[in-house]
Structure formats: C-alpha cells, structure tokens
Structure 1
Amino acid sequence: MSDAPDRSRSVAGRVAIVTGAASGMGRATALLLAREGAKVAVTDLDLAACEVVAREADANAKAFALDVSDGEAIKRTVAAIAGHFGSVDILINNAGVSSFAALDAADYDDVWTRAIAVMLTAHQRMVRAALPWLRASDAPRIVNIASTEGLGATPGDTPYVAAKSGVVGLTRGLAVDLGRDGITVNCICPGPIHTGMTDKVPGADKVVFAKRRTALRRYGEPEEVAHMTLSLVLPAASYITGAAIPVDGGLMARNA
C-alpha cells in the first residue's frame, strides 16, 4: 500500500476560508464547517453580518470583511486569516452576485464586468493568495461554487452563465495545475436553491418550476449544498479533483 495521507472523515482543527459567508449557501457552509470542528474565516462585504454568523458558529469562527472584487484586499485578508489561525487548509469560493441583464440593456457592460470580477476573477485570486498555506497543508482542499447555469443557460442571464461556465473551466485547470501539490479542486453546481438571489421569485412560480423541472420536485435548501461542500473538503476525499458536481434535485437529469 502506498504512503497515504490522512483519510479521516473529520475537518476538526482544519482552517477554512468561506467567501460570501454572510448569507445563503456561504452562511450554511460556514456554520456546518464550524459545527464539524473546523476553524472558519467568515468573509463577506458586510463585516457586521459576518460577525453575526461568526457568533452563531461560536468559538470556531472569526469574521473578516472582504470585497472579493478587490485584488489587493484579497491578498491582505488571506494573509490576515492565515496569521490569525496559523494555517489555511480549505478554501470555499462562494461569493456571488445576481447578474441578469438583457443583451441590449444600457447597463449590460457593467453587469458583465461585475459578474466576471466577483464570480470568476476573484476565485483565481483567492486561490493564488492562499497557495503558500494550502501547499503546506496535509489535506488541502478547494471548492468553487459554480451553478447549473455553468452547465446550461437561462434566457437573459449571459453574464452569470459566462462567469459560472468559467468557474467550471477554471476548476478543471486548477485541478490539473495543483494536482502535483496534492491540492484537490472541485466545483459544485447548485440548481434552484432557496437563497437571497431567488427570494424575488414568487413562491407559486418556484413550486411550478420545481415540479416541472426537478426530479425531486422542490427547491433545495442552502444546507443541502453545504453538506456536499463538506464531503469534498474531508481529508478522506483525496482522489476527487476536477469534478463539477450538480446539487440540483435532478434538474440536469430531466429532459423537460
């Protein structure tokens, strides 16, 4: 048998960074990791909202304000997180923005630029900033949150589709580049989930969509995505890399 790394199914004592952790899937992920014993850096634009999540996570979390569209802020914040906790083992690139825009909309270019900055460029910047510490970890894990919009498309959503498709490609490229360092890189593609981004969709429309388009006939909960993230960052998940995993209630499996 080859020399094997830690195959445990515990993240206790691991240091995790979660972006966009003040609400939705990021919040659910931060809280789940903290409950499982990880030390969690809760990052988002709103420091006060991050502090609420960190308090809920108790002693296993600390809040950090971070605008992921700011490259210099990423460098400073990742260094501060590593300085506070002493290491970085897990990086969850979750921060996102709603980016619906018609092609002929006056603000299309602005929506496009922000979508790519927050949901694609920021991912590679976070990875590069965290690399020295990830390379020093004995079970380094990166999970990028993409979307089923990175596997298909919805009308009027090209900036978001482009960004999330880029995340799928970036994940594969990073997996190949970082495999020699033992760093696994995977992405999750959530489908219809109850989050702030979907709050504007009327409840009746959600019911119709879910029954028509998903095998499970319902919207998912942020915690259901968080549990897949947890599975991918376990030390035991040491031979899964470059994967794009739908967490979509069977949305991609249905033809109509």
Structure 2
Amino acid sequence: MTYDFKGKTAIVTGGGSGIGAAIVKKLAADGAKVIVADISMEHAEEIASEVGENAKAVKVDTGDAASVEAMVKAAEEFGGGLHLLVNNAGIGGANAPVGEYPVDSWKKVIDVNLHGVFYGMRYAIPAMQKAGGGSIVNIASILGSVGIAGSSAYVATKHALLGLTKSSALEYGDKGIRINAVGPGFIKTPLLDANLDQDTMDYLANQHAMKRLGTPEEVANLTCFLLSDDASFITGSYHLVDGGYTAQ
C-alpha cells in the first residue's frame, strides 16, 4: 500500500536502524522529505544515504530537550515546515526486579523513552500548527498494555506513553493534529539479533499466535497508514502489530 506524502516533511527518531529505518524508507518512498534522527550520526547518515536527496541525517539525543528542539528546527529548514513525527527512539534498560533495579538505568530509560517523546511533541506540535496541521505516531510496545518481569522501567514508560498519546490527542483533535500510538510485538531487528541467542529468539517467536517475530516493515506499514490522510478519523488510539501476542 502506498500513501501520498508529497509536500510533507517528517521526522523519525531512532531512524538509523530497525523499525525507525523501515519507517524512514517507507515515508521517503511515498514522497516525504524525512529527517533521519538518531543518537548515532553514523547510522543516520547510512540510512539517509540509502534514501537519497529526500532524507537528511540529524544527530539527536531525545533525552535532551535542547537537542530535540534543534532537530525540529532542522526539519523546518530542510522541508519548509513539519507535518509528520514518529517518536520511535527508545532503549530497553537493565534487566532486574524492581527491588534491585539500578537507579541510573531507571533514570536513563525514563529520559529517553518518556521524556524524549514529550520533548518531540512539545517542539513538533507548534511547528505543525504553523504548517497547517500534522500527524504524530508514538511507537509504544505490547508492553504498553501488559507487563513483563525484569523490565519495570521500560514497561512503565510504554504505559505512560499511551496516556500521553490519549491526553494530547484530546488537546489537538480539533486543531488539525492527530496523535496515535503503535504497539509492536517482538520485532526481528539488528538489535535483537545482536543481544539474543537463537534459543531465546525461538522462545519469543512462540509467544506470538503467529509463531514468528514481526518485521520492521510490518510496523512501518501500520505507522505510515496512521500518519496518512487515509486515517483521517483516527486519533488518540493504540494500534497493535503483535502477531496475536496480547490476545492470549
């Protein structure tokens, strides 16, 4: 499915790899100019180079408000305005029970996964209002609706992200800005490949009704639909792409 993003400028945080990179490529293929925003300039530049002239790499630390503000300004300069935002950047944090969870890891996960999304919306929404409206998709997780042992910080941020999405959608629903969240299941990305052995990957695959991991492209397809005018009456909602994980 293709969408008409011609004349639109988008930002994708965490755009240098995995789900973010797939979203960047889909948006650009459908006509958007895209800011590939990532903490790793090397990864951002690699994806921007693959896409070509419709993409620009920007280094961003989503846990730092000034860095996010500069990212939004770069998007306005690159595309003449800002119309689309995908808050995708996130980290997993330590794996430990709450009573032993490292405080520094807790703070870092909150900074990136929650504060970073707030900063993105805080600076993108005024830019979208200047451009005449827009659409935002916050990449949450299946762990925005269920828990998992050992990942309290990550789960807390993804639950909070849904509340932020719903509240902000109510604030801007009559102002031309739609805001939704996507909840991926376990997705086969380079990060997963690098950190999990095959037995663990197989175990996770079997937790989904479809008995496989998802792909970044499957998440990108749903995300771009929600960003598009085809989803013009959808706001404040949470859409799963989880192979049936949460149906159990």
Q: TM-score, normalised by structure 2?
A: 0.94
Of 124-133 and 38-47, more deviation after overlay is shown by 124-133
1:101 and 1:159 in contact (8 A); partners too: no
Report matched runs for 1:92-171 at 5 Å: 92-102=86-96, 103-105=98-100, 108-171=102-165
Q: Which residue of 2 aligns with 1:229?
A: 223
Whole-angstrom distance in 2 between the partners of 1:54 and 1:16: 13
Out of 44, 55, 75, which is 1:50 matched to?
44
Q: Which residue of 2 aligns with 1:79?
A: 73
1:139 and 1:238 in contact (8 A); partners too: no
Shift of 1:207: 2.0
Q: Which residue of 2 aligns with 1:64?
A: 58
Whole-angstrom distance in 1 between the partners of 2:244 and 2:7: 34
Aligned-partner residue type, residue 93 of structure 2: S
Aligned-partner residue type, residue 209 of structure 1: L
Shift of 1:96: 0.4
Report matched runs for 1:18-37 at 5 Å: 18-37=12-31
Shift of 1:233: 0.6
Aligned-partner residue type, residue 216 of structure 1: M
Aligned-partner residue type, residue 194 of structure 1: K
Paired residues, what number?
245
Of 241-250 and 188-197, more deviation after overlay is shown by 188-197
Find the residue that maps to 1:193 and give its secondary structure. coil
2:136 and 2:227 in contact (8 A); partners too: yes
Whole-angstrom distance in 2 between the partners of 1:77 and 1:220: 29
Shift of 1:48: 1.9
Whole-angstrom distance in 2 between the partners of 1:214 and 1:167: 23
Q: Which residue of 2 aligns with 1:5?
A: none
Q: Is 1:208 aligned with 2:193?
A: no
| Segments of 4+ moved more than 6 angstroms | none
2:133 and 2:175 in contact (8 A); partners too: no
| Structure 1 portions without partners, runs of 5+ | 1-7
Deviation readout 1:21-79 (Å, 9 max, x if unpaired): 11110011101111111100000011121111001011110111111111111112211
Whole-angstrom distance in 2 between the partners of 1:144 and 1:209: 23
Find the residue that maps to 2:231 and give its secondary structure. coil
Q: Which residue of 1 aligns with 2:6?
A: 12
Of 54-63 and 192-201, more deviation after overlay is shown by 192-201
Whole-angstrom distance in 1 between the partners of 2:64 and 2:180: 24
1:175 and 1:242 in contact (8 A); partners too: yes
2:9 and 2:75 in contact (8 A); partners too: no
Whole-angstrom distance in 1 between the partners of 2:44 and 2:210: 32
Find the residue that maps to 2:239 and give its secondary structure. strand
1:139 and 1:235 in contact (8 A); partners too: no
Q: Which residue of 2 aligns with 1:3?
A: none
2:10 and 2:75 in contact (8 A); partners too: no
Shift of 1:205: 2.5
Whole-angstrom distance in 2 between the partners of 1:230 and 1:139: 16
Whole-angstrom distance in 1 between the partners of 2:60 and 2:229: 27
Whole-angstrom distance in 2 between the partners of 1:235 and 1:136: 18
Deviation readout 1:126-185 (Å, 9 max, x if unpaired): 111112221134451000000011111110100000011111111001101111212110
Find the residue that maps to 2:146 and give its secondary structure. coil
Deviation readout 1:89-118 (Å, 9 max, x if unpaired): 00000000112332243x611111111110
